[in-house]
Chains A and B, each alone.
Chain A
Amino acid sequence: MSTVVLLAVTGLGLSALYFLIASGLSLVFGLADVLNFAHGWFLTVGAYAAYWATPKVGFAGGVVAGVLAGAGVAALVELVMIRPLYKRTIAQVLVTVGLSLAGVALFQALFSPDARIFPSPKWTQQVVGFLGARVPVKSLLLIAGAVVVLAALLAFLRWTRYGLIIRAGVENREMVTALGIDVRKAFTLVFAIGGAAAGLAGALGGVYFESVSPTGGASLLIFAFIVVVIGGMGSITGSAVAAVAVGLLQQFVNYYGSAGAGDVCAVALLAIVLLTRRQARQA
């Protein structure tokens, strides 16, 4: 029983990480039709910002630095590289792929190609008793972060004017402009929000993996894409549910099956969802 609780908590920790990346990816694609392969790099930016800032201003300050760096870089990328290319999907994909590669190279040059040990505070590396099991604090930290972000995003979408514009724009962007609204302003905002969540994932991921590396974001991005597709483009609650499913599945299969089988299962889950969705549509 305590093993199941442990696996559930660590699995949900992974889910939380996926959700933090997937939520931004999903909003950006749902609203702006941009498939952003550079989104994982926002996580790396956040991770290194937290890595750099934590020894200077403490862990909480480091997390804030990661969030701000992720948001700032994402907004800048939208303004400078994505905005000139709206409606040119292929060009956008090329630019974001290029940026993600260049971004890795940048951090390899600035720091080193190797992973660096993240300056995690001691309390994050401990275990606590939870439902009869000893579970890692860092997983609980990630889960708490994701829950806060989920609640904040839902409240923002539900209660604010920009949230209203984003929900409407995900449905029919053209009609939003036909009501006299400059929908592109919302694009920048959505990039910044997604970047902030990715930056938070970077900082908390640094604690979780106890290290930062130039390629950290890119490898997590693959699972975030799986989560976004399963959860539905543009749906925050969909991303949350799919992230929970993928994280738990991966953790349990990796433990009870063989290591690595969990990743295969995540891809298999994606295939099953896509196939049944198509059949439901044809029926």
Chain B
Amino acid sequence: MSILQVRDLNVVLSGLSILQGVSFDVAPTGVTVLLGRNGVGKTTTLRAILGLAPGIGSVTFDGADILGRRTHELVQKGLGYVPEDRCVFAGLTVAENLRLAERTKNSAYELVFELFPELKKRASQRAGSLSGGQQQMLALGRVLLTENRLLLVDEPTKGLAPKVVTEVADALARVAVRVPILLVEQNLAVVRRLAGDAVVLAAGQVAWTGGASELLSDHDLTKSLLGVGSHS
């Protein structure tokens, strides 16, 4: 039984058809990776699932149809979101960013500070003055404070230095033990390390689904779907 089922999802933005009949499942454990070249609609897929983009079709989360529900309700039901450009609140401090995400009294600060000790040290720093890597840690820490049943994480390693990429991947690997993740990721080394299932989008449609290792072991397939070699 999958935790999230997307069926025949269509999204139209500003009169343009961005997604055309996207269907896939997200496994109830581990990391399912959503791949595809730039601009194929990966971010739009996540946003439509969350109700941030207008979708037509059906999205089933834990047995309930959620398409058209309001975003904050879905998040309260355990759908955590880490957006592509991090979206930390620049004018708020690190501590305030975290406090904003609290939903219950027993927020998981120990877990967050254990994964990202930097956030504890910089609690009173304005989030806007954090480095890109630190902002990513804050964006991840923010969702990890609360109980989630599925995380939607959009390109968490984008634009980060190799050492920070490893740190973020380590954190995701640890989180994925407890919570399933639908991950958009372009870094194939990270994909190889984390992903179980893979869904590949091309031009607003699903072009391939299967095991991530199966995809990455086939150099020609990877190249034709993603435009990059799998052993780089």
Contact = CB atoms under 8 A, between A and B. Distances in A.
B75 A168 contact: no
Contacts of B71: 174, 177-178
Interface in A150-178: 161, 164-165, 167-168, 171-172, 174-178
Interface string B82-97: 0100010111100010
A172 B92 CA distance: 12
B100 A168 contact: yes
Size category of the binding interface on chain A: 10 to 19
B92 A181 contact: no
Nearest to A179: B101
A183 interface: yes
A178 B52 contact: yes
B129 interface: no
B42 interface: no
A180 B69 CA distance: 12
Nearest to B50: A178
A183 B101 CA distance: 13
A178 B83 contact: yes
B83 A164 contact: no
A161 B99 CA distance: 9
B61 interface: no
Contact of B91 (A167, A174, A180): A167
A171 B100 CA distance: 13
B103 interface: yes
Given A164-B99, A168-B100, A172-B87, A178 B75 contact: yes
B90 A171 contact: yes
A164 B100 contact: yes
Contact of B52 (A171, A174, A180): A174
A158 B70 CA distance: 28
B56 to A, nearest CB: 18
A182 interface: yes
B90 A180 contact: no
Given A164-B99, A164-B100, A165-B100, A177 B72 contact: yes
B99 A180 contact: no
B83 A179 contact: no
B72 A175 contact: no
Contact of B75 (A161, A165, A167, A179): A179
Nearest to B99: A164
Given A164-B100, A165-B100, A177 B75 contact: yes
A174 B90 CA distance: 14
B128 to A, nearest CB: 9
Interface string A11-32: 0000000000000000000000
B100 A179 contact: yes
A164 B102 CA distance: 12
A52 B83 CA distance: 53
Contacts of B87: 172, 175, 178
Given A168-B100, A175-B87, A180 B92 contact: no
B100 A176 contact: yes
Interface in B100-158: 100-101, 103, 142, 146
B92 A167 contact: yes
State the 8 A-B residue pairs at the shortest beta-carbon distance, nearest first: A180-B75, A175-B87, A177-B71, A180-B76, A177-B72, A168-B89, A178-B81, A179-B101
Given A161-B99, A164-B96, A172-B87, 15 more contacts: A164-B99, A167-B89, A171-B89, A171-B92, A174-B52, A175-B87, A175-B89, A177-B71, A178-B50, A178-B71, A178-B75, A178-B83, A180-B75, A180-B76, A181-B72
Interface of A: 161, 164-165, 167-168, 171-172, 174-183
12 contacts: A165-B100, A167-B91, A167-B92, A168-B89, A168-B96, A175-B89, A177-B70, A177-B72, A179-B101, A180-B76, A180-B101, A181-B100
